[in-house]
């Protein structure tokens, strides 16, 4: 009887350690779908530029757009409806997301002229590398719907 008790304790200890060590790894996994996911399964990648991934959802008349880098890291996301933009507090470059509602800041020093990452009939997002290595993302309304509609998300 005493031998069985000694055999059970190591097994319990090993099981407890496995659960303890697996907890943080499980917590760091991102959901497989939805806003904030690295690779959302419920939205198509509609990026126009290699090196970026763009995802868009529409719910209740509100469009949600998320921009990820090539590794799947969320850079920034915003919601938009009727020409109003709401930056969402998520992503590595959330502080570098500019919308039409932002007060124009002093001109940011960029290392590149920028590329269009996402565009649909009402919204456009460009990305430009700044001199400090961060990415400036500019979300804007599409001022010419005919032009925007004819160049929809062509990769």
Q: Is residue 38 part of a domain?
A: no
Same domain, yes or no: 76 and 9:
no
Instruction: Report if pTM > 0.95.
Output: no
125 CB-near residues (< 8 Å, 6+ apart): 54, 65, 67, 116, 117, 118, 119, 137, 138, 139, 140
Same domain, yes or no: 69 and 101: yes
Mean pLDDT lowest among 24-28, 47-51, 62-66, 97-101:
24-28
Q: Cβ distance 44 to 55 under 8 Å?
A: yes
Q: Residue 67 in contact with residue 76, Cβ under 8 Å? A: yes
Pairwise CA distance, residues 103 & 11, whole Å? 62
* Same-domain pairing of 16 and 82: no
Q: Which residue has the higher pLDDT, 10 or 87?
A: 87
């Amino acid at each position: 009887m005493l031998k069985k008790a000694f055999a059970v304790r190591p097994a319990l200890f090993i099981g407890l350690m496995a659960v303890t060590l697996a907890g943080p790894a499980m917590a760091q996994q991102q959901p497989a779908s939805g806003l904030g996911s690295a690779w959302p399964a419920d939205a198509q990648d509609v990026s126009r530029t290699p090196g970026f991934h763009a995802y868009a959802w529409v719910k209740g008349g509100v469009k949600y757009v998320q921009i990820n880098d090539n590794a799947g890291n969320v850079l920034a996301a915003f919601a938009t409806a009727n020409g109003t933009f709401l930056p969402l507090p998520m992503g590595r470059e959330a502080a570098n997301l500019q919308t039409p509602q932002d007060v124009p800041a002093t001109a940011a020093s960029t290392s590149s002229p920028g590329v269009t990452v996402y565009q649909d009939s009402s919204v456009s997002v460009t990305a430009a590398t700044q001199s400090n290595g961060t990415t400036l993302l500019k979300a804007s309304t599409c001022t010419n719907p005919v032009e925007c509609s004819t160049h929809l998300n062509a990769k």
